[in-house]
Amino acid sequence: MWDAAGIMTLARNAVHARRAAGHENLREAVDLLSRRSSSV
Model confidence pLDDT, tens digit, residues 16-38: 888 888 888 889 989 999 988 77
Predicted confidence band of residue 10 (pLDDT cuts 50, 70, 90): very high
3-state secondary structure the chain: CCCHHHHHHHHHHHHHHHHHHHHHHHHHHHHHHHHHHHHC
Q: How far apart are CA 13 and CA 7, in angstroms?
A: 10
Of 10, 31, 32, 13, nearest to 21 by C-alpha is: 13
What Rg, from alpha-carbon coordinates, does the chain have?
17
